[in-house]
Amino acid sequence: MPDLEPTPGQTVGPFFGFALPYPGDSRLVPPGSAGAIRLHGTVYDGAGGPIPDALVEIRQADASGVVPRVEGSIARDGVFTGWGRAATDPGGRYVFTTIEPGPERDGEAAFFAVTVFARGLLDRLSTRAYLPSPALDADPFLAGLPEDRRATLVAVRDDGGLRFDIHLQGDEETVFLSYPPRS
């Protein structure tokens, strides 16, 4: 057996276009249903260019602030599971059809938990997309961030619903969260 040379570790993707998307992955609720909104945006790299092969996942509470505990998010069958996945298009854009989440706890603002997978990343990135509201000023998590960084976590209302752009690096870098390692 010859001596084997170590090789560098693999990064995430780019394999999203054929391996992870599935029909209805970004539709948490049917378009046009009561309370349906669009959560959309663009994923940017450190140079400010769009990332055409990223994957964005969201996890959210329902309108009353309860995070669903439903198995089988891939086969929703009309049940709101609070989870969705969207691949970016060639312009780095993603879109979800969902509902606005309610706050999960008193004193906190409502948010979408967001995970990003992209080429060149050794692991996923996690962040939050907060709904714009007066509750942002009192949210304990946001209050713990420098004031000039909070805006990177707040979605903006526009004609298309809620826009949340994600910047992986650079001057406008989105605040990303770290979690303890999984065992």
Domain boundaries, the chain: 16-167
What pLDDT score does 78 carry? 74
What pLDDT score does 180 carry? 74
Indicate whether 17 pLDDT > 60: no
The dotted CATH code for 16-167 is 2.60.130.10
Residue with the larger pLDDT of the pair 121 and 181: 121
Indicate whether 170 pLDDT > 90: yes
**At 154, is the pLDDT very low, low, confident or very high (cuts 50, 70, 90)?**
very high
Has this prediction a pTM greater than 0.75? yes
What pLDDT score does 122 carry? 76
Indicate whether 1 pLDDT > 90: no
Distances (CA, A) of 13 to 64, 117, 118: 36, 8, 6
